[in-house]
Amino acid sequence: MPVPILKQGEILVASIQAALSDVDLAALRDDLADRVGRLRSRGVVIDVTALDVLDSFATRTIRGIAYTARLRGANTVVVGIQPDVAFAMVQLGLSLDGIATALDLEDGLELLLRTRNDGRVHRN
C-alpha cells in the first residue's frame, strides 16, 4: 500500500497508515526525495502513529529519508512514535540520531515552522 504524501504549504506530510512492506518503504523514500526537490519543500513530517512496530529496516529507511531530505534542503520530523514502539526501539538499539521527533502531527508542524528560518532545530 503506497503512503499518501500531502503538501501543506512548504511542508510535506507522509502519514503511514498501516504496516509497510520493505518495498513500500523504499517507494516512500524515493517519492519523498523526489517531491522535496520538485515542490521546494522546507520540511517533512513522517507520521508513524498507526504503527505498532518499527523494525530495523524501517528505522534505517526513515533515517535515510531524513538525511536525504536534509541534503535537499528540508528538515524532517518523525511524529507519533507510540510508547511501546519507543521502548522496543531503545531495547533493540535502534536510534533516530540527529532526527527531530515530536509527540504528534501538531507538535511536529510547530517544530518545523519554528526552525524554518535558520534551518536549525531549537526550542523557543
Q: How far is the CB of 106 from another protein (least distance, A)?
A: 9
> In the chain, how many H helices and how many E strands?
4, 5
User: Which DSSP category does 52 fall into?
Assistant: S
Stretch that binds another protein, among 19-27, 36-44, 67-75, 95-103 (CB under 8 A): 95-103
Residue 56 binding another protein, by CB under 8 A: no
Look at strands 75-79 and 43-47 and give their pairing: parallel
Q: How far is the CB of 108 from another protein (least distance, A)?
A: 8
Residue 120 binding another protein, by CB under 8 A: no
Cα distances from 117 to residues 17, 60, 120, 122, in angstroms, run 30, 28, 8, 11
Q: How far is the CB of 113 from another protein (least distance, A)?
A: 15
Residue 15 binding another protein, by CB under 8 A: no
Q: What is the dihedral of CA 34, 56, 80, 65, to 10 degrees?
A: -20
Which positions lie near another protein, rule CB under 8 A? 78-79, 81-87, 89-91, 95-96, 101-104, 107-108, 123-124
